[in-house]
């Protein structure tokens, strides 16, 4: 079975099977829970079957419900088919629907609340305000009406009271990106509540943040064949991004990774392609301040460019939004890395930066970036990780997220007791031996 989603060339049954496997493998649904559908150009609805193992679905298991109501396939359509149909009737712009019971969103559902997307500008931009559908019997016409009413008001993400979530997109790739991003945001809010209070951004702050991405780099006039080193860098980027997605360290809808190519030139992830479905050929080279012909780099490209220009000892940059580090970002709570030797040696003291400063004219983030302080948390936004090598930066990201998780989990046990100053001093004497490995990928 294919591992990369292509909504233009793949048959609906193959798209659904791939995305359901992705959801199940990410532990975002159960064997029996959830259903996916696609409405094709003829108005036919392709949907997951009733009573089938979601972890072992095959393309042949997917059912097609024709516009006239006739059913084609080996199985019965999902019992939740009525609300899928109701959404498509209410919103012709929606062509794919995902319904599942991911634990983060369900946690909000069972206390009858919705996650506030205004904690992160990119989440608010993609998912908007979250709808809320009152409880009704699963599979009933009433449930379909409740959900469709929220979509009719403009929502594309809806929390279902005491049930789960339903999410719509222009295709199943967009729907999945919203689903994954929303679930991770819900978890960050939940974990953040254990260490502090989430800070909600004003609409004006969100708008100001999003306007910073308008200035794209100029396009080069001609394209040139990729060198062997260029191809090697692209392959390394692809491997790290795939690994990060599998481990929940990067999401399809958000994040960027780059690696220095030569001098101040570098290769970076593209814009508007899910990180799950990238190929080495999708990566964008930035040469002499110009973007590769015919390609658009990630919106954060100017930050990557500035880091490489001002810090010659940095050769890789990762910007992402993993669940536990994001809990610190949205609360602004201190991230104390003096937990275990590995964490302090690799990360040193992690800086907490005000939201939006990485794109400000005075470049407030750049003086903070250094090889000695490779991880920075930006409030209400993301984590920025740098390294001399790509694998080194990735390891720093892993260490930081593991540490954030441990700090949050320990909150229920008592106050964290950091390694003492004299012990830190002793660690400093062995630090260079620990950090200066020959990082290979």
CA geometry: angle 420, 424, 426, nearest 5 deg? 120
Q: Judging by beta carbons within 10 Å of its beta carbon (0-12, 13-18, 19+), is residue 235 exposed, middle or buried?
A: middle
Q: How far apart are CA 185 and CA 192, in angstroms?
A: 10
Residue 352, H or E segment: strand 351-353
Beta carbons within 10 angstroms of residue 67's beta carbon: 11
CA separation, residue 32 to residues 54, 55, 73, 95, 176 (Å): 6, 9, 19, 24, 19
| Token couple for 371 | 């090889």
**Contacts with 255 (C-beta within 8 Å, 6 or more apart), sequence order:** 244, 269, 275, 318, 319, 320, 321, 382
Name the active-site residue from 80, 220, 381, 401. Answer: 80
| Token couple for 164 | 């789960």
CA separation, residue 401 to residues 127, 161, 321, 328, 427 (Å): 24, 31, 10, 10, 21
| Token couple for 354 | 């005000």
Residue 10, CA atoms < 13 Å, CB-side half-sphere: 20
- DSSP letters along 189-257, please? HHHHTTTS-PPPPPHHHHHHHHHTT--PPPBPSS--PPPHHHHHHHHHHHHHHHHHHHTTSS-SSS-EE
Q: How far apart are CA 406 and CA 397, in angstroms?
A: 14
**Local structure of 39: helix, strand or coil:** strand
Active site annotation includes 219 = no
Catalytic site residues?
80
């Amino acid at each position: 079975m294919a591992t990369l989603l292509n909504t233009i060339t793949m048959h609906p049954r193959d798209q659904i099977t791939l995305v359901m496997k992705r959801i199940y493998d990410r532990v975002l649904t159960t064997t029996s829970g959830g259903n996916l559908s696609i409405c094709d150009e003829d108005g036919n609805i392709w949907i997951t079957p009733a009573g089938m193992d979601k972890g072992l679905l095959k393309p042949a298991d997917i059912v097609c419900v024709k516009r006239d109501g006739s059913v084609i396939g080996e199985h019965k359509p999902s019992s939740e088919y009525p609300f899928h149909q109701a959404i498509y009737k209410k919103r012709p712009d929606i062509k794919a629907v995902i319904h599942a019971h991911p634990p983060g969103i369900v946690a909000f559902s069972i206390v009858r609340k919705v996650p506030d997307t205004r904690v992160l500008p990119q989440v608010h931009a993609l998912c908007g305000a979250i709808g809320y559908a009152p409880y009704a019997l699963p599979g009933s016409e009433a449930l379909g009406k409740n959900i469709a009413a929220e979509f009719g008001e403009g929502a594309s993400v809806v929390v279902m009271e005491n049930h789960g979530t339903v999410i719509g997109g222009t295709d199943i790739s967009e729907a999945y990106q919203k689903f994954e991003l929303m679930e991770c945001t819900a978890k960050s809010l939940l974990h953040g509540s254990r260490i502090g209070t989430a800070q909600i951004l004003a609409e004006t702050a969100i708008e100001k943040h999003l306007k910073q991405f308008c200035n794209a780099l100029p396009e080069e006039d001609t394209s040139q064949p990729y060198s062997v080193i260029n191809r090697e860098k692209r392959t390394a980027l692809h491997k790290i991004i795939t690994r990060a997605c599998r481990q929940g360290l990067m999401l399809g809808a958000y994040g960027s990774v780059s690696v220095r190519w030569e001098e101040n030139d570098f290769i970076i992830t593209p814009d508007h392609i899910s990180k799950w479905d990238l190929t080495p050929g999708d990566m964008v080279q930035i040469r002499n301040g110009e973007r590769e012909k015919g390609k658009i780099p990630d919106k954060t490209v100017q930050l990557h460019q500035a880091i490489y220009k001002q810090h010659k000892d940095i050769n890789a940059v990762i910007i992402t939004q993993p669940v536990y580090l994001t809990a610190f970002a949205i609360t602004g709570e201190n991230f104390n890395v003096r937990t275990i030797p590995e964490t302090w040696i690799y990360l040193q003291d992690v800086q907490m930066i005000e939201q939006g400063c990485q794109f400000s004219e005075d470049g407030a983030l750049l003086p903070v970036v250094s090889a000695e302080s490779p991880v920075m948390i930006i409030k209400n936004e993301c984590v920025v990780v740098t390294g001399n090598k790509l694998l080194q930066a990735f390891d720093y990201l892993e260490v930081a997220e593991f540490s954030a998780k441990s700090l949050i989990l320990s909150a229920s046990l008592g106050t964290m007791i950091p390694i003492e100053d004299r012990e830190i001093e002793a660690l400093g004497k062995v630090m260079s031996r620990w950090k200066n490995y020959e990082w290979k990928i």
